[in-house]
Amino acid sequence: MQNMLKPPVEALYKQELRALKNDDDGIKPSNWTLSPKSVRKFILGSDKPIIYRNKEIKIKKKFFGNDALVERCIITLAGNRGLMLVGEPGTAKTMLSELLAAAICGYSNNTVQGTAGTTEDMIKYSWNYSMLLNEGPTVEALVKAPLFVGMEKGIITRFEEITRCPSEIQDSLISVLSDKVLSIPELGEEIGVLFAKPGFNVIGTANTRDKGVNEMSSALKRRFNFETIVPIRDVSMEAEIIINEVEKLKDQDKVKMEVDKNVAELLAITFHELREGISSNGIRIDKPASVMSTAEAVSVYYQTMISGYYYGESSISLDSLVQNIMGAILKETREDIQKLKNYFNVIVKSKAVEGGELWESYYKARKWIK
């Protein structure tokens, strides 16, 4: 993992997955690495550690939110039904799809990244044109894309940002999801059909902010079970997520700084109040057009941390924090800057009176909002 900028989930949690597999006595769907019970435990964590090779392996909670939603996702996949995760940007849809794929088949990188330029070749298969010209269409000349690989090996294919793809590309999934068969007409009738192995399935993600960009057809929607992931509503849970994710990032990058839990809580409160449009004491706030997601809050905190690590004295600067919040706010429209100013002039000012030195320093850092 030392040579990976972003290790895959199955590498990051290798010990946990091995321990769960060794301890797993549940019923497994065909070709699953873990049983649904153990998949749930991997994602939602367990208070009881597992003894593996004479060591206690703690199974950490990795997805914070609706536990029942995670259970429904697992059951959807166990029933060979496609799963579609929808919600606001930054609500951990991708992370949940990675965790599910890693736990179910041990591999999370069999992925299609949906964009306006995604073609059917990128989803199903294409050809090595040098071999195609020399030998004609053969199995060896096939260049297998993620959907082909998933069907051939009986593993999960993840389809990110599916609504970013043109409608005709999305609809190329319909027959595969319905019949679990992929036709390769160039190879002829005898060998030109790929039947999906047990374990194959598709997990898609779509942002609700992209709704209407390339709306999914009703035919395709019927092939999926939809689960909506909502933003975190609990401030203390959001602060915990910020702390946990920043801890992982700093360990990967060997940043030798401690996470300031008080600053993480302050940031969680800021993002929660701006996202919800109401303060903790009931004052209405103009909501920014920008996405004020938990993932964005993690990014803001981590940028502030590494700024302090490389330029400061290995401490969190609230001036830097406010500058990074402003950078997050500015992604959609400059009008959001005034909304952030109003938030500081009304809400942060009132908290500074009651909240002690940290909130006072935070209020003074408003000078960077311009």
Q: How far apart are CA 353 and CA 345, in angstroms?
A: 12
Find tokens 């995604």 and name the residue. Answer: 118
Give residue 1's pLDDT: 59
Instruction: Specify the pLDDT at position 41.
Output: 97
| Per-residue confidence band for 213, with pLDDT thresholds at 50, 70 and 90 | low
Find out whether 81 and 202 touch, Cβ atoms under 8 Å. Answer: no
Helix (H) or strand (E) holding 127: strand 125-127
Tell me the per-residue pLDDT of 303-340, one tens digit each, with 9 for 90 and over. 999 999 999 888 899 999 999 999 999 888 888 999 99
Tokens found for residue 105:
């088949």
Whole-prediction pTM: 0.90
Query: What percent of the chain has pLDDT above 70?
Result: 99
Taking alpha carbons only, the member of 103, 184, 110, 196 closest to residue 154 is 196
Cα 52 to Cα 9, 33, 37, 89, 285: the distances in Å are: 19, 17, 18, 37, 51
